[in-house]
Structure 1
Amino acid sequence: MQSDTLEGLPIFVRVVREGSFSAAARALDLTPSAVSKQIGRLEDRLSVRLFNRTTRRLGLTEEGAAFYERASRILADLEDAAQSVSSLKAVPRGRLRVTLPTAFGILHLLPALPDYIARHPEVTLEIDLNDRFVNMVEEGFDLALRIGDLEDSSLVGRRLAANRRVLAAAPAYLAGRPTPERPEDLAGHDCLIYTYRAQRHDWRLVDEAGQESFVSVSGKLETNNPMMLREAALSGLGIVLLPLWIIGPDLKAGRLQRILPTHHWPDSAIHAVYPPGRHLSARVRSFVDFLVERFAE
């Protein structure tokens, strides 16, 4: 790799992560023209166009996306090598970019963060709360919490805890209505629908013997936010299907009541995942170890 190509890598990666030349320039304490010149030199050196530029939007070309994936790994390896050579690998430090679902972040990670920060004061956390599927490599994240089945086999995953989703409703909703006794009874009730779930209106339930049932449900409220589903259930708007880590306290306090207590959605798990590599940075390792310590069963 030519030295001028290597010189342009950090600027290229920062432009992708910041989303614009001007934002990258501010982050790097450079002028926008200097950033633009470096990107131009890099494109000349590679003989490809890395960005599609318009007056309103900056996006990667297909070649740019492929180059970004490799460039991110190269910079991460260089940083790890520098830490190793300088005997700093044992001390977590630097910026750690983490993405995870909104509800888990607010309910569980946020209360735990003071302990992590107290232990590792040289780590700066950038937390992205997002319920959509995030491409970690393309968007430059070091670590993600994934709830459900792991579909991306290219990532390394470490299991943190079980994820059990159950049916529940408020006593106010059940008053004057027949409580469902079989999965098929749900079809006659107002069900609160989570729109990020594939086949959102088809609920799959399993009983204690492992027997599966499938029921089509409907209701008057659909949303992509599980915390709104919880609030809707507490307000008596219908039956909800949510993880115990969201509604467990409500069940214990009697604010919600289990529906079909012998049935639940097939169990999955909560994982911490990160891109594979020869070296796992100290800050990523420290955060994964902390998550296991805090949330493992």
Structure 2
Amino acid sequence: MDRLAVMETFVCVVETGSFSAAARRLRVGQPAVSKAIAQLEDHLGVHLLLRSTRGLTPTEAGQNFFEGARRAIAEAEEAELAARGASASLSGRLRICAAVTFARLHILPHLKKFLQEHPGLNIDVVLDDRQIDLLEEGIDVALRMGSLNDSTMTARKIGEGKRVLVGTPAYFATAGVPQTPEDLRQHQFVVYDRGAMATASTFRREGKEVSIDVTEGRIRVNAAEGVRAAVLAGMGVAIATDWMFSPELASGEVVRVLSDWDLPSIDLWAVYPSGRMANAKARAFTSFVQATMENYAAALA
């Protein structure tokens, strides 16, 4: 019995809640997962999992083994990297999650370089604007923006984005260019209905604050791709990060207005599953994304 491989299988079963889900994540057949757990329970002489119609949950012994196994897997990976030296490349599979538009514009175009640095590494990219369950989906690291509502998550701030007010030149040619935040009451908003994004309406300049209600608009969209499409079609203005419209801001297809007023910035976080120590692959990817975003910010300065 390969003890480390069996521990990895058991950890995967507990995290996913079923043999079938673990098999899909590990890319093996379900019988192989069931056999591995049976061998492990026989070897330890205790029941590790409770089986019911609602799925699998660890027993007290199973929970204790789960915590220890998870630490052992992380420590084994760290030991391998230490033995190979600082120049060693990463290997295995890394599963990341990010919002669709952010990943399309700022992560996927740069992944080739990261993979070239680590030829033994494979990456699963899960694109989802929702805040999915990282443990259930087997995510090693997720990129999230704004406030983090779950205080149990392990997170690292890796960037800060500017919020800007944008629209197309064609829209402003018809509706007029706002000169003050108050002028926005006469404009159509494309509302990004994603928590903090939808309420970023306080404009600041030289100690003065002006709050404008931008939560009511004829168009409300819960995904950044939809916001982009509506704005580019000239259907209104939007408050968004400069990350969301970076190609169009550079080309002039959209323009920033009220640029002498500031809006609250938004934080970019690398988030790891609750209770899990970030592995070397997740940490390396996090540092890579942080460097990528720092280069982007420097190019704008």
TM-score for both structures, normalised by structure 1: 0.77
Match of residue 185, structure 2, among 174, 187, 191: 187
Aligned-pair CA distance for 1:8: 5.5
Q: For residue 156 of structure 2, what is the amino acid of its counterpart? A: G
- Which residue of structure 2 aligns with residue 220 of structure 1? 218
For 1:156 and 1:102, how far apart are their aligned partners in 2?
A: 20
For 2:82 and 2:257, how far apart are their aligned partners in 1?
A: 58
2:80 corresponds to 1:83: yes
Structure 2 gap segments, 5+ residues each:
none
2:170 corresponds to 1:172: yes
Please say if residues 169 and 239 of structure 1, whose CA atoms lie closer than 8 Å, have aligned partners that are also in contact: yes
**SS class of match (1:212):** strand
Aligned-pair CA distance for 1:275: 5.8
Aligned-pair CA distance for 1:120: 0.8
- Which residue of structure 1 aligns with residue 102 of structure 2? 104
Please say if residues 193 and 240 of structure 1, whose CA atoms lie closer than 8 Å, have aligned partners that are also in contact: yes
- Which residue of structure 2 aligns with residue 291 of structure 1? 289
Structure 1 gap segments, 5+ residues each:
none
Q: For residue 154 of structure 2, what is the amino acid of its counterpart? A: L
Please say if residues 142 and 274 of structure 1, whose CA atoms lie closer than 8 Å, have aligned partners that are also in contact: yes
- Which residue of structure 2 aligns with residue 208 of structure 1? 205
Aligned-pair CA distance for 1:100: 1.5
State the number of aligned residues.
Answer: 289
The change in CA–CA distance for 1:69 and 1:110 in structure 2 (over 3 A counts) is farther
Please say if residues 25 and 138 of structure 2, whose CA atoms lie closer than 8 Å, have aligned partners that are also in contact: no
For 1:69 and 1:290, how far apart are their aligned partners in 2?
A: 30
For 1:25 and 1:295, how far apart are their aligned partners in 2?
A: 35
- Of the structure 1 ranges 5-14 and 115-124, higher mean CA displacement relative to structure 2 is found in 5-14
- Which residue of structure 2 aligns with residue 145 of structure 1? 143
- Of the structure 1 ranges 31-40 and 256-265, higher mean CA displacement relative to structure 2 is found in 31-40
- Which residue of structure 2 aligns with residue 266 of structure 1? 264
Structure 1 segment 114-129 matched on structure 2, within 5 A: 114-129=112-127
- Which residue of structure 2 aligns with residue 234 of structure 1? 232
Q: For residue 79 of structure 1, what is the amino acid of its counterpart? A: A
Aligned-pair CA distance for 1:6: 8.1
Q: For residue 103 of structure 2, what is the amino acid of its counterpart? A: G
Aligned-pair CA distance for 1:151: 4.8
For 2:288 and 2:4, how far apart are their aligned partners in 1?
A: 34
Please say if residues 160 and 267 of structure 2, whose CA atoms lie closer than 8 Å, have aligned partners that are also in contact: yes
2:249 corresponds to 1:251: yes
The change in CA–CA distance for 1:125 and 1:181 in structure 2 (over 3 A counts) is same
- Which residue of structure 2 aligns with residue 155 of structure 1? 154
RMSD: 4.0
Aligned-pair CA distance for 1:158: 4.3
Listed one character per residue, the Cα deviations across residues 200-243 of structure 1 (whole Å, up to 9, x for unaligned) are 3x442232325433222322221121122112111111111111
For 2:18 and 2:59, how far apart are their aligned partners in 1?
A: 17
- Of the structure 1 ranges 226-235 and 283-292, higher mean CA displacement relative to structure 2 is found in 283-292
> Identity, % of aligned pairs?
32
The change in CA–CA distance for 1:15 and 1:164 in structure 2 (over 3 A counts) is same
Listed one character per residue, the Cα deviations across residues 115-165 of structure 1 (whole Å, up to 9, x for unaligned) are 111111011111111212244345432222222244555414142x32011
Please say if residues 98 and 142 of structure 1, whose CA atoms lie closer than 8 Å, have aligned partners that are also in contact: yes
- Which residue of structure 2 aligns with residue 73 of structure 1? 70
The change in CA–CA distance for 1:165 and 1:34 in structure 2 (over 3 A counts) is same
